[in-house]
Amino acid sequence: MEPTSLLLEYLKEQYTQARQHETRQTAATTFLTAAAGLLLGGDACEYLKSNNWETALLIFLIGLANWQINEANFKGNRFHARLAGYTRIELEKALSPWPADIATPTALRDRALKEVGIIGNVGEKVHQAMRLVPIGVMVIGILLLISAVLNL
């Protein structure tokens, strides 16, 4: 296999792996948030009457698990995206000299980031937003736990 073909296939594989981490992160967040909502919603009336600290603790732990799963998938996503970036640069070098009238993939990426106003890492910005979900679930769990303990 020609080195440039190998690099191209490797590039495609890294982007595929990075997307899989995004999908797993979204699926885990959706499932765990729904589980916390089900516990909270299903137990809401009884909880308010009985101050069930076990349910509050479980909701907090679901949020904590969600946080850890998000962090692990983010690291995997960043690894594959970074490796894909390195591969893209090596592929550009392998295909040099690059035709003067055709932009390199790196130049196209930089131009697109500038046009949409993204400074820095796109994945990091998405990850920061994804962190809000487990933080919210943990805060709800903590508040309910405090309420339950104070009312014992």
Distance (Å, rounded) from C-alpha 55 to C-alpha 35? 12
- 75-113 pLDDT tens trace: 888 888 889 889 989 989 998 888 888 888 888 888 988
Both tokens of residue 84? 């894909």
Domain count along the chain:
1
Q: To the nearest 5 percent, what fractions of the chain are helix, strand and coil?
A: 85, 0, 15
Name the residue range of residue 53's domain.
Answer: 3-150
Mean pLDDT over 113-133 rounds to 81
Calculate the CA 83 to chain-centre distance.
17
pTM of the model: 0.71
Per-residue pLDDT of 30-43, as tens digits, reads 888 888 877 777 66
Distance CA 93, CA 15 (A): 19
Q: How far apart are CA 95 and CA 123, in angstroms?
A: 28
